[in-house]
Amino acid sequence: MSAIALENARVEELAEMFRLMGDANRLRILVLVLDQPRSVGEIASAAGLSQSLVSHNLGRLRASRLVRAERRGKQVFYVAADQHVRTVLQDMLEHIAEVDLPPPLVGPS
């Protein structure tokens, strides 16, 4: 596989992860599990979503390695998969919280 093909494959994989995070419900779920493991019921209650919708979205997030599951007895708790996921989301949350940004540069009309 050439370096260009490998790079294209990585770009496609990254684009798919951002597509998953582009859904508001999945993004809410990810933010809720950034710092502590939560059960489906806790996530559903905090996000104002049904448990079935949360479970469905957690399945997609797990398949993409954005969250991981931890079994504790009979309950399963979900948490951000690793520090990379936490860093990306925390950095973006900080970015949108910045209020003193200069206006965006606009090209010639």
pLDDT number for residue 77: 98
Report d(CA 20, CA 9) in Å as an integer: 17
What are the residues facing 80 on neighbouring strands? 67
pLDDT number for residue 109: 58
pTM: predicted TM-score of the whole model, two decimal places? 0.81
Average pLDDT value over all residues in the chain: 90
The sign of the dihedral angle between the CA atoms of 97, 45, 60, 22 is: negative
Beta strands per DSSP E along 26-66: 38-39
Q: What is the per-residue pLDDT across 26-75, written as a single tens digit (0 to 9) for each? A: 999 999 999 999 999 999 999 999 999 999 999 999 999 999 999 999 99
Q: Distance from CA of residue 40 to its chain's centroid?
A: 16
Give 3-89's CATH code, choosing from 3.20.20.80, 3.40.50.2020, 1.10.10.10, 3.40.190.10: 1.10.10.10
The yes-or-no verdict on residue 6 having pLDDT over 90 is: no
